[in-house]
Amino acid sequence: MHWITKHNLHYLQFSSLAALPGLWHGIFPRFAGNGNGGWIPFNLGLNCGDDDLKVWANRRTMIAAAGGGLPVFARQVHGAAIGIWDPADVPVSDHVYLDGDALITAAPDVALVIQSADCQSVLLVDPVERVVANVHSGWRGSLQNVVGRTVQAMVARFGVRPERLICAIGPSLGPCCAELIHYRQEVPAHYWGYRREGDLFDFWRLSIDQLTAEGVAPGHISASGICTRCNPHVFFTYRGEGPRTGRFASLIQLKKDPHGN
């Protein structure tokens, strides 16, 4: 994983995904450059205390960095529903909201955006079939296996082969900070094997296991290993800052030219 700085924007890229032609992806932190060597806040979430116009300006800046595709957002509810943007669909606006916590498309120039403040965003791509997905998986989504269900939907709808999928798990609560003090009530017992010391859970490991259970090759999965709560100066963190914190975002987009870099 490495930082890219371009046009006053900073974003993270996974080496495994950056190596694929015809694909753009990035994870945008809570700050951007101000053009004079300093930083300005870069909140991408509505209803977090920032003016909507400012959030949309930030979103447009993010979309432009990705190449200016149609932005597709998810109406995230910590569930396991999946929104599919069909290549034949015609947008009625300059952006799209789909119901679900996972987004899938095989259409190029469509930017799948997941917003987070501690939850995982999990990026998936089948570079042969050219299908991408972006999944919002917090602890509630993890317990509903939204990641595994997304792989199943990619297979059913687009004929994706799981063993070809390249996957990446973004910055999110690590096993150092994913504390569930009421886990005996909130977490089914068959997940208790992911409990580490105290009431801490390793949801990164759970996502990896959910992917491999669907047939993804272990060597095709990258995890950032970056805990949001341990890095509050870089990422918004709900656990660290409460409900009024902002949202950072991850984005994945197929390019029109499958060989383009």
Sheet strands (E) in the chain: 2-6, 9-13, 23-28, 31-33, 39-41, 70-75, 82-85, 96-99, 102-105, 110-116, 120-126, 131-137, 166-169, 221-223, 248-254
Q: Choose between 104 and 178: whose C-beta lies nearer to Zn ion.
A: 178
User: Based on CB atoms, which residue is closest to Zn ion, 187 or 227?
Assistant: 227
Residues that bind Zn ion (CB under 5 A): 174, 176-177, 227, 229-230
Minimum CB–partner distance for residue 239 and Zn ion (Å): 9
CA dihedral for 6, 9, 13, 19, sign (positive or negative) = negative
Longest dimension (CA), the chain: 53
Nearest approach, Cβ of 230 to Zn ion (angstroms)?
A: 4
CA–CA dist 183, 143 (Å, integer) = 11
Smallest gap from Cβ 238 to Zn ion, in A, equals 13
From the CB of 177, what's the least distance to Zn ion, in Å?
A: 3
CA distances 127 to 24, 71, 102, 162, Å, are 12, 21, 19, 11
| Residue among 177 and 234 whose Cβ is closer to Zn ion | 177
Rounded to whole angstroms, how far apart are CA atoms 140 and 65? 31
Distance CA 251, CA 13 (A): 10
As measured in angstroms, the least distance from the Cβ of 237 to Zn ion is 9
Residue type at position 75: R
With respect to Zn ion, which residue has the nearer C-beta, 25 or 229? 229
Amino acid at the residue 161: R
Which residue, 18 or 177, has its beta carbon nearer to Zn ion?
Answer: 177
In the complex, minimum distance from the CB of residue 174 to Zn ion, in angstroms, rounded to a whole number: 4
Quick one: 118 or 126, whose CB is closer to Zn ion? 118
Assess contact for 202 and 115: CB atoms under 8 A.
no
Give the closest residue to 91 by CA, choosing from 76, 77, 105. 105
